[in-house]
Structure 1
Amino acid sequence: MVIEPKTQALPDHTQLPESDGTFVKNFQEHPQSILLTDSIQPRLQEIQPDGQYCIGQDCGIYWRMTDPPERGAEAPDWFYVPNVPPTLNGEIRRSYVLWQELIAPLIVLEFLSGNGEEERDNTPYQGKFWIYEQVIRPAFYGIYEVKKASVEVYRWVAGRYERMSPNERGHYPIAPMGVELGIWRGYYLNAQLPWLRWWDEAGNLLLTGEERAEAERQRAEAERQRAEAERQRAEAERQRAETAQQENARLREQLRALGVDPNALS
């Protein structure tokens, strides 16, 4: 008698819960995620023109099987994964399942609402910091605290996270993406706050679509004003030349009236 081995297929993103029933902790987290995603898209299209990447915003990353299943997931406020299709098997992802995808996020960001104890918890198999460092292993892990207008960034090196030091601009270089991460104080979506934002490697702020549109509007308006100033300059020059021509004609007529041939004076 041949006994067939029993196999148990691991669940995929369509079979695992997409939520644990909790909700976003404050009103700043959602616009913060939108700001990060909106402004980084043109840069990602440059470095990955094939479009093979995905961005998660408060989405679960499943790293082990548990009962209930959602206890085996962490849900970063924002993360980016390169070299994966934007959809999975033609479907929008309900979650990111490590045993199905195999590729770890490049960067994970957490936005603090409390004192940061949860995000820095290094308890094996339970603490967020331990899970990110030892299991999920994103190359960069950022902890952003709006109340303190600060962000701390860790880089995965030789099996552990090392806290990074900011550069001369106070930013943290994320070299694989060709960007820097830091704090920007400004107005966004009806709120004046110290927002978490991206810059390019030269220190230029990466703009949102609305900011790019406004910058283009200002550029077009400046060009319109420059063209109008040039038109007015040309019109003033034309009028000056016309006035000079009329004055020259008047003087020639006066010379003729005095019996002097103006051509003889040339």
Structure 2
Amino acid sequence: MVATVHPYNITWELLPEDFILDDEPVDNVNQPPIAAALTESLELAGRLPSTALATTNYGICATVNEKVIVKAPDWAYVLQINVAREEVKRSYTPYLQGEIPVVVMEFLSDAEGTEYSSKRTYPPGKWFYYEQILQIPNYIIFEPESGSLEVHQLDESGKYDLCPPDENNRYWLNEMQLFIGVWQGRRENREGYWLRWWDEAGNLLLWGTELVLQEREAKEQERQAKEREREAKEAALKRLEELEQRLRDAGIEP
């Protein structure tokens, strides 16, 4: 990827202690469980190392033209942070505290605002901020009610291109070495569309409840196999006993 020459003065500084963060709640009750499910399956699959940072509605900072800008994507993933986790409790500044996020996601709701739009001018909405300031490789927009998914990836000019899905209706994120796509089903009493991960071989990264169910099914299959083995042994023993009895009836001592 060719780096974009910015017409803006961008610096990477810690969020001032007196900076007031937006405390408004998320727009939709669906957003937190969707974000939590994405992180959970990564962790359970061993794809969330201690140096990585998966965030939900959490501020990512930059200083543009001497003005602090903070945007909080609904979900983001940083492959490598270079500081102790205690230093990124409140916010995260790329380059100063680690790498830029490799993916950010927004989960749209009925309260969708202009910051989700394709506005590419200053002052920065989220699209501008992710594309022009942070230059995040993957920007994902998901509409939970309809299951609509858009994956935008930076091209060589530093602009987002809308990517087509593969034959399985999934999208490959090279930085994650994973596919992402839409899955329909039930979790936490919510029936609907979810974002899920698949590995390079097409295996779904499972949630905790699915792993528990998988383990139960494996134990049940093992129990049934042992039961079939026991029944087979009992049947063989019964046939042997019947054969011995027929021999005895014929005057032959087995």
TM range (shorter): 0.7 to 0.9
Cα distance change of structure 1 residues 249 and 17 upon mapping to structure 2, 3 Å threshold? farther
Deviation at 1:121, TM superposition (A): 3.5
User: Distance in 2 between the 1:87 and 1:209 partners?
Assistant: 27
8 A Cα contact 2:13 2:62, kept in partner: no
Larger Rg: 1
8 A Cα contact 2:81 2:98, kept in partner: no
| C-alpha distance after superposition, 1:195-216 (max 9, x if no partner) | 1111112222110122112111
8 A Cα contact 2:44 2:208, kept in partner: no
| C-alpha distance after superposition, 1:190-248 (max 9, x if no partner) | 01101111111222211012211211111111111111111111111111111211221
Q: Report what 1:38 is aligned to.
A: 40
8 A Cα contact 1:54 1:85, kept in partner: no
8 A Cα contact 2:83 2:98, kept in partner: no
8 A Cα contact 1:78 1:109, kept in partner: yes
8 A Cα contact 1:179 1:200, kept in partner: yes
| C-alpha distance after superposition, 1:132-166 (max 9, x if no partner) | 10011111000000122111001112211111110
Q: Are residues 1:100 and 2:99 paired? A: no
Residue 122 (structure 2) aligned to one of 111, 121, 124: 124
Amino acid in structure 1 at the alignment position of 2:167 = E
8 A Cα contact 1:124 1:131, kept in partner: no
Name the structure where helix makes up a greater proportion of residues. 1
Residue 140 (structure 1) aligned to one of 127, 138, 141: 138
Deviation at 1:126, TM superposition (A): 2.2
User: Distance in 1 between the 2:224 and 2:15 partners?
Assistant: 55
8 A Cα contact 2:179 2:199, kept in partner: yes
Cα distance change of structure 1 residues 57 and 244 upon mapping to structure 2, 3 Å threshold? same
8 A Cα contact 1:36 1:196, kept in partner: yes
Q: Report what 1:181 is aligned to.
A: 180
Q: Report what 1:236 is aligned to.
A: 235
SS at match of 2:96: helix
Question: Percentage identity across aligned positions?
Answer: 33
Q: Report what 2:5 is aligned to.
A: none
Amino acid in structure 2 at the alignment position of 1:37 = T
Cα distance change of structure 1 residues 164 and 65 upon mapping to structure 2, 3 Å threshold? closer
Amino acid in structure 2 at the alignment position of 1:210 = T
User: Distance in 2 between the 1:52 and 1:224 partners?
Assistant: 41
8 A Cα contact 1:18 1:95, kept in partner: no
Q: Report what 2:81 is aligned to.
A: 84
SS at match of 2:63: coil
Q: Report what 2:30 is aligned to.
A: 28
8 A Cα contact 1:62 1:97, kept in partner: yes
Deviation at 1:42, TM superposition (A): 3.9
- Number of aligned pairs? 240
Question: Please, which moves more after superposition, 154-163 or 17-26?
Answer: 17-26
Cα distance change of structure 1 residues 232 and 127 upon mapping to structure 2, 3 Å threshold? same
Name stretches of at least 5 consecutive residues in structure 2 with no aligned partner: 1-11
Question: Please, which moves more after superposition, 201-210 or 165-174?
Answer: 201-210
TM-score by length of 2: 0.85
Q: Are residues 1:201 and 2:200 paired? A: yes
Deviation at 1:58, TM superposition (A): 0.6
Amino acid in structure 1 at the alignment position of 2:237 = R
Kindly report which structure 2 residues correspond to 1:152-231, keeping only aligned pairs within 5 A, or say none.
152-158=150-156, 159-231=158-230
